[in-house]
Amino acid sequence: MERTQRHRHALPRARFALAALAVAVLCVALPVPSGAAVGWGAGPATIIDTTAPALALDPVPANLILRGGQQVAFHWTTGDSHPGTATNDFTAEVQDAGAPLASLSYLPTPTDASWTWTAPEMQSGYLSLLVTCRDAFGNTTTARTGDFSVVLSNSGAPGAGLPGAPILEGNRPNPCNPGTMVRFSLPRAQAARLDLFAADGTRVRALAEGDFTAGAHDVFWDGRDDRGRDVASGTYLLRLSADGAQQVRKLALVR
pLDDT at residue number 61: 80
Final residue before a domain boundary, out of 125, 151, 177: 151
- Is the domain of 147 the same as that of 172? no
CA atoms within 13 A on the CB side of 28: 6
Q: Give a yes or no: residue 156 inside a domain.
A: no
**What is the CATH number for 213?**
2.60.40.4070
Beta strands at 234-242 and 190-198: parallel, antiparallel or unpaired: antiparallel
Domain count, the chain: 2
pLDDT at residue number 153: 76
Q: At residue 220, does pLDDT exceed 70? A: yes
Q: Give a yes or no: residue 66 inside a domain.
A: yes
Q: At residue 37, does pLDDT exceed 50? A: no
Q: Give a yes or no: residue 229 inside a domain.
A: yes
Of 13 and 147, the one with more pLDDT: 147
Most confident of 20-24, 47-51, 232-236: 232-236
- Is the domain of 85 the same as that of 139? yes
The span from the CA of 212 to the CA of 178, in Å, is 26
Taking residues 9-25, report their average pLDDT: 49
- Is the domain of 72 the same as that of 144? yes
- Is the domain of 207 the same as that of 143? no
pLDDT at residue number 64: 80
Q: Which residue range is the domain that position 62 belongs to?
A: 54-151
- Is the domain of 145 the same as that of 183? no
Give residues with Cβ within 8 angstroms of 119, minimum separation 6: 66, 67, 68, 69, 70, 71, 72, 150
- Is the domain of 123 the same as that of 187? no
Per-residue pLDDT band at 207 (split at 50, 70, 90): very high
- Is the domain of 135 the same as that of 77? yes
| 112 and 58 Cβ atoms separated by less than 8 Å | no
The neighbouring-strand residues paired with 102 are 94
Q: Give a yes or no: residue 17 inside a domain.
A: no
- Is the domain of 181 the same as that of 139? no
Q: What is the pLDDT of residues 132-145, one digit of tens each?
A: 999 999 999 999 99
Ranges 95-104, 156-165, 191-200, 240-249: which has the least confidence: 156-165
- Is the domain of 246 the same as that of 178? yes
The span from the CA of 29 to the CA of 76, in Å, is 68
DSSP 146: P
**How many Å separate Cα 139 from the centre of its chain?**
14
Q: Give a yes or no: residue 38 inside a domain.
A: no
- Is the domain of 64 the same as that of 130? yes
Q: Give a yes or no: residue 43 inside a domain.
A: no
Taking residues 195-200, report their average pLDDT: 96
Q: What is the pLDDT of residues 46-58, one digit of tens each?
A: 778 899 999 999 9
| 221 and 205 Cβ atoms separated by less than 8 Å | yes
**What is the CATH number for 129?**
2.60.40.10
By three-state DSSP, how is residue 56 classified? strand
pTM value? 0.48
The span from the CA of 234 to the CA of 236, in Å, is 7
Q: What is the pLDDT of residues 87-128, one digit of tens each?
A: 889 999 999 988 999 999 988 777 889 899 999 988 787 899
The span from the CA of 222 to the CA of 203, in Å, is 16
